[in-house]
Amino acid sequence: MADLEIRNVSVKYKKLTAVSDISFVANSGEIIGFIGADGAGKSSLMHAIAGIIRLSGEIQYRGYTYKSPQESEKIKSQISFMPQGIGLVLYGTLSVSEHLDFFADIRDIKKDTKFLEYKKRLLHMSGLTDFTNRLAQNLSGGMMQKLSLICALLHRPKLLILDEPTTGVDPLSRLELWDILDDIRQKEGTIILVSTAYMQEAAKMDRILLFDEGEIIAQGTNKELLESVRNFTYAKMDKPPDDTISFDKKTYSLKSLSIQHKEPNLEALFFVNALKKNKTLPAIKIQERQSQEKIPQIVMRAEGITKRFGSFVANDHINITLKSGEILGLLGANGAGKTTFIKMLLGLYSIDEGKLMLLDKAIKNSNDRINLKSKIGYVSQHFALYNDLSVRENLMYFANMHKIPIDAALNRIKKYSYELGFDEYMDKFPKELPLGVNQRFSIAAALLHEPVVLFLDEPTSGVDTLARAQFWQILHKLKTKWGISILITTHYMSEAEYCDRVVLLKLGKKIVDDSVENLYKLHPNAKSFEDIFLTYFKGER
Partner 1 sequence: MKIFFIVFSKEIMSFMRSLALVSVVLYAFTVDIYIAGAGMQIKPRNVIIGYVDYSGGGLSKKILSHFHQPAFITPKPFLSRQKLSQAIFNKEVLVGFIFNSDFEKAYRKGQNTNLDVLIDATAASQSLTTLAYLQNIIFNFEKLKIPLKIKSHKLFNQNADNHSFMALTELLSVITLLIVILTAIVFVKEKEDGTWDIMLLMPVNPKMVILAKSTSQVLIVTVGVILSLGFVLFPAFNTPMNGSFWNFILLTLLYGFSSAGIGLFVAAVSKDVMQVAQFSIVIMMPLIFLSGAWTPIYAMNPIFQNLSLFSPLRYYIEGSESIFYRGTSFVDLLPYFGGVTLLGIVLYLYGFTKIGKLF
Q: Does 348 bind partner 1 (CB under 8 A)?
A: yes
The only residue of 128, 351, 502, 504 in contact with partner 1, by rule CB under 8 A: 351
In whole angstroms, how close is the CB of 517 to partner 1 at the nearest point? 34
Q: What are phi and psi of 475, to 5 degrees?
A: -60, -40
Q: What is the DSSP letter of 505?
A: E
CB nearer to partner 1: pick between 364 and 521? 364
The distance of closest approach from Cβ of residue 180 to partner 1 in the complex, given in angstroms and rounded to an integer, is 34
Looking at the DSSP assignment, which residues form a beta bridge with residue 513?
503
Assess contact for 502 and 331: CB atoms under 8 A.
Answer: yes
Spatial separation of the C-alpha atoms in residues 21 and 128, rounded to whole Å: 41
> In angstroms, rounded to a whole number, what is the distance separating the alpha carbons of residues 424 and 273?
23
Whichever of 160 and 359 has its CB closer to partner 1, that residue is 359
Minimal distance, residue 409 CB to partner 1, in Å: 12
Min CB(498)–partner 1 separation in Å: 24
Residue 12 beta carbon to partner 1: minimum distance, rounded to whole angstroms: 24
Shortest distance (Å) from residue 307 CB to partner 1 = 11
- Calpha distance 345→363 (Å, rounded): 9
Q: Which of 249, 255, 403, 541 binds partner 1 (CB under 8 A)?
A: 403
Q: Counting contacts by CB under 8 A, is residue 349 touching partner 1?
A: yes
Considering only the stretches 32-40, 88-96, 255-263, 346-354, report the one whose residues sit in contact with partner 1 under the rule CB under 8 A: 346-354
- Least Å from the CB of residue 423 to partner 1: 23
Q: Starting from the edge strand earliest in sequence, which strands make up the sheet with 191-195, in order?
A: 79-82, 159-162, 191-195, 31-36, 207-212, 215-220
CB of 185 to partner 1, least distance (A): 39
275 versus 356: smaller Cβ distance to partner 1 = 356
Identify the burial level of 55 via C-beta atoms within 10 angstroms of its C-beta, where 0-12 means exposed, 13-18 middle and 19 or more buried: buried
Q: What 8-state DSSP symbol labels residue 384?
A: -
Kindly state whether residue 309 participates in binding partner 1, applying the rule CB under 8 A: no
| Position 347 contacts partner 1 (CB under 8 A) | yes
SS3 26: strand
- Least Å distance, CB 388 to partner 1, is 5
Q: CB nearer to partner 1: give 385 or 447.
A: 385
How many residues in the shown chain lie near partner 1 by CB under 8 A?
A: 32
Nearest residue (CB) to partner 1, 106 versus 401: 401
Q: Which is nearer to partner 1, 32 or 330 (CB)?
A: 330
Contact call for residues 142 and 174 (beta carbons, < 8 A): yes
353-392: contacts with partner 1 (CB under 8 A): 365-366, 369-370, 373-374, 376, 378, 380-389
**Which is closer to partner 1, CB of 100 or CB of 404?**
404
Distance CA 238, CA 235 (A): 10
**Smallest gap, in angstroms, from Cβ of residue 124 to partner 1?**
38
Tell me whether strands 31-36 and 207-212 are parallel, antiparallel or unpaired: parallel
**C-alpha–C-alpha distance, residues 222 and 209, integer Å:** 10
Q: Are strands 353-358 and 509-515 parallel, antiparallel or unpaired?
A: unpaired
Let me know the angle formed at the C-alpha of 510 by 310 and 383, rounded to the nearest 5 degrees. Answer: 75
Count CB-CB contacts under 10 A for residue 22.
Answer: 22
Among residues 70, 132, 186, 350, which is the contact residue for partner 1, using CB under 8 A?
A: 350
Closest Cα to residue 158, out of 193, 201, 118?
193
Closer residue to partner 1, CB minimum distance, 264 or 462? 462
> Which of 254, 401, 408, 522: binder of partner 1 (CB under 8 A)?
401
Judged by beta carbon, residue 122 or residue 345, the one nearer partner 1 is: 345
Give the span between the Cα atoms of 251 and 253, in whole angstroms. Answer: 7
**Is 321:300 a contact under the CB 8 Å cutoff?**
yes
* Complex with partner 1: residue 223 or 403, whichever CB lies closer: 403
Shortest CB 91 distance to partner 1, Å: 18
| Gyration radius of the chain over CA positions | 25
Interacting positions 433-472 with partner 1 (CB under 8 A): 449
Task: Determine the Cα–Cα distance for residues 126 and 446; give it in Å rounded to an integer.
Answer: 42
The single residue among 47, 338, 343, 510 that binds partner 1, judged by CB under 8 A, is: 343
Which residue, 438, 24, 66, 38, is CA-closest to 214? Answer: 38
Strand partners, 172: none
Does an H or E element contain 160, and which? Answer: strand 159-162
With respect to partner 1, which residue has the nearer C-beta, 152 or 446?
A: 446
Q: Which position among 2, 109, 298, 346 is part of the footprint of partner 1 (CB under 8 A)?
A: 346
Residues in touch with partner 1 (CB under 8 A)? 343, 346-351, 365-366, 369-370, 373-374, 376, 378, 380-389, 397-398, 400-403, 449
